[in-house]
Amino acid sequence: MKGRRMLPLEGIKILDLSRLAPGPFASMMLGDLGADVLLVEAPPEGKMGAMAILGRGADAEKVAAYNMLARNKRSIVLNLREQEAREVFYKLADEADVVLEGFRPGVVKRLGVDYDTLIKRNPRLVYCSLSGFGQTGPYSNLVGHDINYISVGGALGMIGWPGQPPTIPVNTIADFAGGGLHAAFGILAALMAREKSGKGQYVDIAMSDGVLALLASFVGPVLMGGESPGRGTNLLNGSVPHYNVYECSDGGWISIGSLEPHFFVNLCKTLGCEQFIPRQYDPASRDEMKTFFTAKFKEKPRDEWFKILSETDICAGPIYSLREALDDPHNRARGMVVEVDHPTLGKIPHLGIATKLSETPGSVRTTAPLAGQHTDDVLASIGFDSAAIAGLKERGIVG
């Protein structure tokens, strides 16, 4: 198309065997940047077909249109328990650059689509396994979810208030940051290495590893012999009044992050409590300061406080619901909500792309496919005629 900008990952073919959030998030990011991502979905029967089930039914078209994690992707349904389906997968893998899977260790080996099998056929293949605890180590075969990975990774024990149970965050830390982001990063690094060596490699991503890596700034002091950060006892997790959250008169909340002295001076002058300026980090003043801030912020509604504080050099932000975040003028100006054309539903609002590239920006080109929507096209591209495709469908090999 005339004038169309090149996408940075154009020409990269990815076979995505993953099912739950971390793997699809990783391939979503790669797809947004131009990779050709083919979802290899299971038939809708049984546990392996959980995502395929979501792609069918009366509301399937609308559900798919708003499914962020599967956008910019195509879909084929393969019953990998059958040898004929595995042969189809092998043909696809022979031409692929990346295979991504998110099963428990050992599953892909049993299905016959593991790294050792595929790398013999395609030595340039980058194969990424994304799991809770990784492919090695004493926990590798344990089941788990985000809450368990942030426990083992050390994050959950730091979240919350002193004397209270750990506060469970929404599943962004392990699933999306520790898992999906690290998987996408690892895949890109392996592709870069392949440019130099000509060889693919295995990428082993453990969400628990990723969580621990995200705590890098806290690790050094502990390894030097210091204490582990407790709940609400660290400068950045609630121990000081000037890096904290406060309820406002309308029930909304605002966050304050005035760590540096000059920001704290501005905060105190704006709130009318200059007496605290020389006592910013005085432990004996924390209760008094917290009491003052708590009462002060109850005097005005959240958005009024944000307007006042944002007019001066003060680190502050309104604590938004997700709906509010999507409607915020800054997030809109940054392109974090975009529209994508749907063939029957018109323009569909979608989450924008966080990675901003000046010369080769990513794009949201298509909404999520229905399960198996591209099965016929994909099979035809690797040499199957219409009769052969019909036969595979009749025998339950593809869908």
Asked if the structure places residue 7 within a domain, the reply is: no
Sheet-wide strand order for 13-16: 73-77, 36-41, 13-16, 98-101, 126-131, 202-206
Identify whether residues 310 and 339 lie together within a single domain. no
Identify whether residues 24 and 162 lie together within a single domain. yes
User: pLDDT tens digits, residue range 109-148?
Assistant: 999 999 999 999 999 999 999 999 999 999 999 999 999 9
Q: Which residues pair with 39 in a beta bridge?
A: 16, 75
Residue 54 has pLDDT above 70, yes or no: no
Active site residues: 145, 175
Whole-number pLDDT of residue 3: 64
Whole-number pLDDT of residue 5: 84
Question: Which residue range is the domain that position 265 belongs to?
Answer: 243-319
User: pLDDT tens digits, residue range 254-287?
Assistant: 999 999 999 999 999 999 999 999 999 999 999 9
Question: What is the Cα–Cα distance from 324 to 319, expressed in whole angstroms?
Answer: 9
Q: What is the mean pLDDT of the chain?
A: 95
CA distance readout (Å), 79 to 98, 100, 329:
20, 17, 46
Question: What is the Cα–Cα distance from 80 to 99, expressed in whole angstroms?
Answer: 15
Asked if the structure places residue 339 within a domain, the reply is: yes
Q: What is the mean pLDDT of residues 63-68?
A: 96
Asked if the structure places residue 353 within a domain, the reply is: yes
pTM of the complete model: 0.94
| Burial class for 180, CB neighbours closer than 10 Å (0-12, 13-18, 19+) | buried
Helices (H), ranges, the chain: 22-32, 50-54, 60-65, 83-94, 107-111, 115-121, 146-152, 182-197, 207-214, 216-223, 261-271, 286-297, 302-310, 322-327, 329-333, 375-381, 386-394
Q: Are strands 73-77 and 202-206 parallel, antiparallel or unpaired?
A: unpaired
Q: Are strands 13-16 and 36-41 parallel, antiparallel or unpaired?
A: parallel
Identify whether residues 157 and 271 lie together within a single domain. no
Last residue of a domain, one of 297, 319, 341: 319
Q: Are strands 243-247 and 126-131 parallel, antiparallel or unpaired?
A: unpaired
Among the ranges given (50-64, 249-263, 362-376), the one the predictor scored with the smallest mean pLDDT? 50-64
Asked if the structure places residue 142 within a domain, the reply is: yes
Q: How many domains does the chain have?
A: 2
Identify whether residues 195 and 338 lie together within a single domain. yes
Asked if the structure places residue 3 within a domain, the reply is: no
Last residue of a domain, one of 264, 292, 319: 319
How many CB atoms sit inside 10 A of residue 267's CB? 25
Whole-number pLDDT of residue 380: 97
Identify whether residues 52 and 113 lie together within a single domain. yes
Whole-number pLDDT of residue 197: 98
20, amino acid identity: L
Identify whether residues 311 and 339 lie together within a single domain. no
CA 97 to chain centre: 21
Dig out the tokens for 109 from the structure. 């080996």
Identify whether residues 180 and 279 lie together within a single domain. no
Cβ partners under 8 Å of residue 300, min gap 6: 248, 249, 308
